[in-house]
Amino acid sequence: MAEESDADRIWKDREARRAAERARIAHERSDRQRELVRLGLFGSDDAGERGDRPDGSVPKVVIDRKGPDPPAEAGSGGSPDPKPIAYGNDATREIGGSVTSPVVAQFLKTDPTERFDLELLNTLRLTGLVEAAEPDATTLTAIVRRTAALMVRIKNEVDDPLSAGAILREQVLRWFRDSPNDPAWSSKMAERWAGLFADSRVGGGRLQPWINFRLWAVREEAARAGPLRQKLKRGLTRDRAAEASLGRTAHQQILAEVAQALLDDLAARPRPAEPSVPLVRLSELAVRRQVPTINDSLALLFSAPETGPFVLLHPNRYPDCDEVVLRPPAAGATGAALAYSLVIGRAARTASGRTRRSGDDRTSEGGTPSEPPPEEVDASSIWGAEEVEPETWRGLLEEHRRERRRLDSPPKDARSRPAYAALRTLLLLDGSVRKSFLSVKWRGRPTGLPLLVSLLQKGALVPEVSTDHEYLEAELGELAQGDPQWHPEDGRWELPGWIVVREGDHRQGFSFRAEPPR
């Protein structure tokens, strides 16, 4: 017998590998067919016909959910297509085609990216989702995966303070614009917003769970009803990302409860004609959680100081809206007296210091304007006004003190503006205004004027920061000589109605004393 050549041996090895690969493909095809039979998508006779296709492709399976089977037609491969299988009273569709149930179709249209709609998702009736999808194993698997992905996206949206605050502002804007003209506002929006951020108490004491809890229940139900039920029993379908989207820290939980309470209050009633709206649910939450805790969450949501009030809408951003401010309860309020409220709009302060409300037009007896209306000035526009009287600042400071909010920091060139001179003049002359200013003064720079007011109000000042004496002396120099760089040799500044004396040195530190002239 002739010895086998290397070429023959290579050819036989190649043929053996090809035969093993064909056997493996046939085995996998057989496994897929048995799985289809087990799920009820093919009959046992139809499963064998799949191998008759020369290209090994899957024949179309038409599921007729209405009536008797139509006659079989020859497929592209020469063998008849499988007979349709009756699945109840639903519409006819192809495997891999669109889902016939409107609820399931609407749910699967949403995704965590470009088709994500949080409010629409919150209104879907998720309780009947799995029943509408049965017994379609492919759809049930898609529901399991889609719920897990949506839960992660929802978690990122509602637990991030900046994102949650933006969502709340959008809903407050919607409440301001649309609710007065919508007679069904309360019944419609209570359902759309319930459970969006956290569990929500609805009429009759019922509880609407948070949307992620509802999605998790749908995911578990779909996994039990679909092809993943065996893996679920063995604990192999665990999705750590979806499970993490259910967990919250104590801080995140309180933030979500505050946001949901505000939404529930807005959904409970449309915007009234009165300028003040009580926030009942937010107030009840403050009784349980304490006012400072609620204020901290509101400050994070709306980027405001912890003491409030919290500006939700402002005409600078929304010119067609009045200012909407969330006002915290008064200090020391407890029980039924503890109340949060929304304040809508505010009187604009004119440049002459008088208050002008909408409709307050100055007209003569003949009905013609007797004088042009004065320029309106408020906290956002006062620094740009060409003329500002000291009395204008008196009204603004009192308003800020009453609403317990701080002044915004002035622009860098504030010293050269009329508003700064008017404010400084008023603070030099009136002790009650100085007291109001210290309670609402801006944070950060410039620090010279707040230091001067503190010195005049208390009579003495020891700067806490070593460089603060420079800012104070610049303020004193401008008042005394019109030059911030001027420093008296004897450390004595003569101001309108005051004399300020500097004591100490650089090594020991400086202190300042203020007293009226003798």
Q: What CA–CA distances, in Å, run from 207 to 183, 201, 211, 301?
A: 25, 5, 12, 24
* Angular region, 482: left φ>0, alpha ψ -120 to 50, beta rest: left
Q: What confidence score (pLDDT) does residue 301 get?
A: 92
Same domain, residue pair 45 and 72: yes
Q: Does 500 fall in a domain? A: no
Assess whether pLDDT exceeds 70 at residue 270: yes
Rounded Cα distance between 354 and 83, Å, is 86
Same domain, residue pair 159 and 81: no
Q: Which residue has the higher pLDDT, 88 or 394?
A: 394
Cβ-in-10-Å burial (0-12, 13-18, 19+) of 55 comes to exposed
Asked if residues 109 and 121 have their Cβ atoms less than 8 Å apart, the reply is no
Give tens-digit pLDDT for 123-137. Answer: 887 777 777 777 777
Same domain, residue pair 223 and 177: yes
Q: Does 292 fall in a domain? A: no
Same domain, residue pair 175 and 253: yes
**Phi then psi for 383, rounded to 5 degrees?**
-70, -20
- Mean pLDDT on 504-513: 82
Q: What confidence score (pLDDT) does residue 259 get?
A: 94
Number of domains in the chain: 2
Q: Does 320 fall in a domain? A: no
Same domain, residue pair 251 and 127: yes
Give tens-digit pLDDT for 359-386. Answer: 444 444 444 444 544 455 666 678 877 7
Same domain, residue pair 112 and 224: yes
Amino acid sitting at position 35: E
Please count the CA atoms within 13 angstroms of the CA of 324 that sit on its side-chain side: 25
Rounded Cα distance between 352 and 337, Å, is 37
Give tens-digit pLDDT for 315-332. Answer: 888 888 888 989 888 777
Domain boundary among 94, 121, 153: 94
Angle between helices 250-268 and 291-302 (to 10 degrees): 80
Same domain, residue pair 79 and 142: no
* Angular region, 303: left φ>0, alpha ψ -120 to 50, beta rest: left
Domain boundary among 260, 282, 299: 260
Segments forming the whole domain that contains residue 40: 8-94
Amino acid sitting at position 297: S
Q: Does 445 fall in a domain? A: no
Same domain, residue pair 120 and 213: yes
Domain boundary among 94, 119, 147: 94
Give tens-digit pLDDT for 112-169. Answer: 887 888 888 888 877 777 777 777 778 888 888 888 888 889 999 999 999 999 999 9
Cβ-in-10-Å burial (0-12, 13-18, 19+) of 483 comes to exposed
Same domain, residue pair 110 and 63: no
Q: Nearest CA to 420 among 365, 466, 376, 475?
A: 475
